[in-house]
Amino acid sequence: MLTVQIVLFDGFDLLDAIAPYEVFCAAAMNAENALSVEFVTAEGQRSVTSGINGLKIEASGRLNPERADIILVPGASGDVEGDGPDSIPAILARAMNTELTGMIGQALGQKDNVVATVCGGSLLLAMGGLLEGRPAVTNHLGMDLLGATGAIPVSARVVDDGNLVTGGGVTSGLDVALYLLERELGPRIAHVVERLFEFERRGTVWR
């Protein structure tokens, strides 16, 4: 069984996390015992406040790089213009300065794991020094910052660099999750979920 853990942190973007969660849940319903999906945090089970109107989601456990086959990291939702405590870079920096960076680094060190990101999730990893020399994409507003961390910015909807799969803007979470379904479980399940959601994947996957 494929185990998917979606990582939450305070200030996370709801759609970045929820869209892939729904895709993976739909796959689980249509492919019995093929995969399981859960929300986790670096700290363990807790209520996590999103960056969208303070809406909370309950994470059921602790991120476990030894157990997860796919770890998905969303971006943040906050002030795009400013540099105060509610700005997106500040929210990502707070998440980076937790145990999360070490855990994701451990996961990236295991070739059988896949670490996926949506939108600013790649920036969170890049700011923690985890993406140096690796092709990746983030929201178009963060591409310069991504490059400044030593990552190689690629302007594509989804970037596949082996055990690292990154997605661009907020809605790319659908594309990332559907692409991972196809890559890990085959096109049949991905196609079933696409039809269920009435969604056609956008853009080219850069490999």
Confidence tier at 192 by pLDDT (50, 70, 90)? very high
Residue 124, helix vs strand vs coil: helix
Asked if CATH classification 3.40.50.880 holds for the domain at 2-201, the reply, yes or no, is: yes
Q: How far is CA 29 from the centre of its chain?
A: 21
Q: Can you give the pLDDT at residue 81? A: 82
Q: Can you give the pLDDT at residue 111? A: 86
DSSP state of 1: -
In the chain, where the domains are located: 2-201
88 and 125 Cβ atoms separated by less than 8 Å: no
Q: Which residue has the tokens 């849940």?
A: 25
Nearest one of 59, 117, 120 to 87, comparing CA atoms: 120
pLDDT digits 0-9 by tens, 43-100 = 999 999 999 999 999 999 999 999 999 999 999 999 988 889 999 999 999 999 999 9
* Predicted TM-score of the model (pTM): 0.97
Nearest one of 72, 59, 120, 57 to 94, comparing CA atoms: 120
d(C-alpha 122, C-alpha 199), whole Å = 24
Percent share of the chain, pLDDT over 70: 100
Q: Can you give the pLDDT at residue 18? A: 98
d(C-alpha 60, C-alpha 41), whole Å = 8
pLDDT digits 0-9 by tens, 122-149 = 999 999 999 999 999 999 999 999 999 9
Q: Can you give the pLDDT at residue 32? A: 84
d(C-alpha 183, C-alpha 190), whole Å = 9
